[in-house]
Chains A and B, each alone.
Chain A
Amino acid sequence: MSALVYLIPVALFLGLLGLAGFLWALKSGQFEDLDGAAHRVLMDDDEESASERKSDKPEKP
């Protein structure tokens, strides 16, 4: 039973990590355009990657 003493905090910590991740995603606007996001996955962004590295825009996947 002594395992519980650290297992429960570990479980809680992992859960909170997930929650924090979701809230961050929400705040950074990733849930604003659910229709667009579905299509962006399929877009061919080869030509974009060069300019992407140059201008360093972290908000684009």
Chain B
Amino acid sequence: MAEVAPDIAEPTASPSGSTGTTPLCCPAGMVAELVQESETALKTDDFADQLQHNDDGSESLILVVQNLHCPSCIRSIESAVENKPGLLKARVNLSTRRLKLNWDPAETNAEPLLAAVAARGYRLVPLDPAQLESAEAEEGRALLRAMAVAGFAASNVMLLSVAVWSGLAADMGPATRTLMHWVSALIALPAVAYAGRPFFRSALAAVRGGHTNMDVPISLAVLLAAGMSLSETLRGGEQVFFDASVMLLFFLLIGRFLDLRLRGRARSAAENLTALKATAATVVAPDGSLHSLPIARLEPGMTVAVAAGERIPVDGKVLLGRSEVDTALLTGESLPRPVGEGSEVFAGTVNGGGPLRITVTKLAEASLLAEIVRLMENAEQGRDRYVRLADRVARHYAPAVHLLAAATFTGWMVLSDLPWQSSLMIAIAVLIITCPCALGLAVPAVQVAAVGRLLKQGILVKSADALERLAAVDTFVFDKTGTLTLGRPSLQNGSDIEPQVLALAAAMARHSRHPLARALCQTAPRTADRDLVVQEHAGDGLSTELDGRTLRLGRRGWCGIADDAAEGAQDGAMELWLAGGDFAPQRFVFRDAPRPDTADVIKRLQRRGIAVELLSGDRSPVAAQLAKDLGIDVWHGDCRPADKIARLEALAAEGRKTAMIGDGLNDAPALAAAFASLSPADAADISQIAADIVFQGDHLAPLVEALDTARSAKRLVLQNFALAMLYNLIAVPIAVAGFVTPLIAAVAMSSSSIIVTANAMRLNLKSQGKDA
């Protein structure tokens, strides 16, 4: 996100101690001044549609907190509102980045609550509850409930089964045994009927569609085991498989739940984006009154008011006002562009300087932002074709298991004189034994271990199959600005400048939020604040009176330096001048510096056999220079979003698997088009959503870490498959031969599940950042 204050972690700029907690990354306190002047607090009209009226008379509202990053934000937000009168409940959800407020409408309304949170620097966007009740969220809860029921049933049935098994060895009477079986049936049958539904439903859908999936053998095994056990119980037989059927469900549901949890992250991120798109714009009516309107209903010719610090909602022309617009997300340009009356502005960019009135020139759907979203959605469809490893295995495994069970049944019928019930029982035992319990856990267990390991290092894996895809990647394609570089300028010639001049410039710069000014005060040593009265001239620079002279810090022309008169006139670097003092005019040169470990990371990637490319929207010479500095052989400059996609497609056509790393809005389509994609946490929202993996911090080392973890995760998954197969190799002959008792089935199933889970945990034993 390109807030007007992009560098919120900067120590010199944050007034301390306003929240009681120590903000690590939070905007708390820091952006407060900004929000006050930009008046972005929501008014009741803005969220009337999203308000929920509860049965008990209270009202609630769910909001996306745009800049919620770290755990201390929870305290910061909740403590901002918790003492307000009329508030019933305020709860921050860190996983989904949402805040839920619940209040008593008789005592308060939402405005003071939202204002209190906004004053701590958080940007809130109301969410429409109608969109939230998605099927998948309900599926997650249903899965958890099923898991709880299966867990309860498994533990209790096992308790009884252990008694029966030891009773068989000792001298349990048939009456007691049958009692135990009946109690087991009483627990297991309802549990199977309830907890098995997710599998039955999916199996049924697969069979109807004329193919099989992993759920077909699972459903068959569970149902047949339960049914056969019931008939055994009725006959007063010795062997029942109630424990196996519920335990199977329990283990498999754990795998399913872990899998779903990984997917849930991506889902909530997508829902949050929908909310952002629906944000309202402030429209100026012909009579001068202001009212808010959903962006979708804006029409060309309308006038929109955009306060400083707000995102510009539509493409349009500036009608009134002078300001600077941060276009970093759209173009990758790191400096804000000055705009005045008549300049064109684009949706998605952030208005940095002063308030603007904008005449809408295009419908919201036709805006540049919408165009990029469309490009991204088109590109994304290609990725859906990826078939996950587990599904590929299942495709072969399920028919094989069915054939094996059928062959066992016919074999025993034809070759022996056992009654058909006994042959069926042996065939069912084969199904139970081969049931992919370990297979069902093999992938999710590794993924959870891998995702957890990465999360500890600030790397968020968003989609369940992201690591699988990343492991297969052989080419990394980088964007330049904001990805290889920090995306913000830093002073280059600080050591050549006299300390007093630098201190003076920094003291002036402290009064501005312009990126160059911020870079200047970051580099300069912190000296005692001078009492300067500084005036900011939008688009030009800063001026102040000192000892009767007018000092100017800003644009070359504005400071009275002729375009061709001084050093570096033609090099096009970012620069500031300080003139008017009792010293020669001083030039400050800035450069968008590479991230501190960029060169090192690229070397380490190349050592791992990864080809590295640079695709930049910036001018070719700049891209070439950076590529040369960093040791990247293949680079392309002047790339528009469509060009980036074209390049990725060309690489894919060569049979290469590409990972795209980018941060800008202009990278989003490419991120969606690449085989795998990563994006830094300060990237545009839409890029973070398009990316599979989001990493935090100023360093690129997480890329190497993610790649290594993905590769070892893949190795572990394959090992787990091998272990599961090995287990089948041993257990299947025993089952086919008809020697499987319920005890053997239970031991075999749980031990294989424990083995694959334990193997997955090995991922956490590996030390970090080791070079292969």
Contacts and interface: CB of A to CB of B under 8 A. Distances in A.
18 contacts: A4-B179, A8-B183, A12-B156, A12-B183, A15-B152, A15-B155, A23-B148, A26-B141, A26-B144, A32-B93, A33-B94, A33-B95, A36-B95, A40-B74, A43-B71, A43-B74, A47-B20, A59-B89
A22 B71 contact: no
B145 interface: yes
Interface in B393-407: none
Interface of A: 1, 4, 8, 11-12, 15-16, 18-19, 22-23, 26, 29, 31-36, 39-40, 42-43, 47-48, 51, 55, 57, 59
A30 to B, nearest CB: 11
A50 B89 CA distance: 16
A61 B74 CA distance: 15
Given A32-B93, A35-B94, A26 B71 contact: no
A2 B82 CA distance: 57
Contacts of A23: 145, 148
B131 interface: no
Nearest to B82: A51
A18 B144 CA distance: 14
Interface in B455-495: none
Contacts of A19: 148-149, 152
B166 interface: no
Interface string B56-87: 00000000000000010011000100110001
Nearest to B20: A47
Contact of B93 (A4, A8, A18, A33): A33
Contacts of B149: 19
B537 to A, nearest CB: 44
Contact of B75 (A15, A26, A43): A43
Interface in B169-203: 176, 179, 183, 187
B159 interface: yes
A55 B183 CA distance: 47
In the A-B complex, list the 8 residue pairs whose CB atoms are closest, starting with the nearest: A36-B94, A39-B71, A33-B93, A19-B152, A35-B95, A35-B94, A22-B148, A15-B156
B83 to A, nearest CB: 5
B92 interface: yes
Main secondary structure of the interface of A (DSSP, over half): helix
Given A39-B71, A51-B83, A11 B20 contact: no
B145 A36 contact: no
A16 to B, nearest CB: 7
Given A36-B92, A48-B82, A55-B82, 10 more contacts: A4-B176, A11-B156, A16-B152, A18-B152, A23-B145, A33-B92, A35-B94, A39-B74, A51-B82, A59-B91
A16 B156 CA distance: 10
Interface residues of B, number: 31
A34 to B, nearest CB: 6
A33 B152 contact: no
Contacts, number: 65
Contacts of B176: 1, 4
A14 B91 CA distance: 32
A21 to B, nearest CB: 10
A57 B160 CA distance: 42
A43 to B, nearest CB: 6
Interface string B123-162: 0000000000000000001001100110010011001100
A36 B82 contact: no
Given A12-B156, A26-B144, A36 B89 contact: no
B19 to A, nearest CB: 11
B89 A57 contact: yes
Interface string B426-456: 0000000000000000000000000000000
Contacts of B144: 26, 31
Contacts of B71: 36, 39, 42-43
B367 interface: no
Nearest to B70: A39
Interface string B87-125: 111011111100000000000000000000000000000
Contacts of B148: 19, 22-23, 26
B574 to A, nearest CB: 39
A32 B94 CA distance: 10
B716 to A, nearest CB: 23
Contacts of B82: 48, 51, 55
Most buried by B among A16, A51, A55: A55
B330 to A, nearest CB: 31
Contacts of B183: 8, 12
B646 to A, nearest CB: 38
A36 B74 contact: yes
Interface string B558-592: 00000000000000000000000000000000000
B145 A26 contact: yes
B170 to A, nearest CB: 12
B694 to A, nearest CB: 14
A52 B354 CA distance: 42
A12 B153 CA distance: 9
A22 B156 CA distance: 16
A35 to B, nearest CB: 4
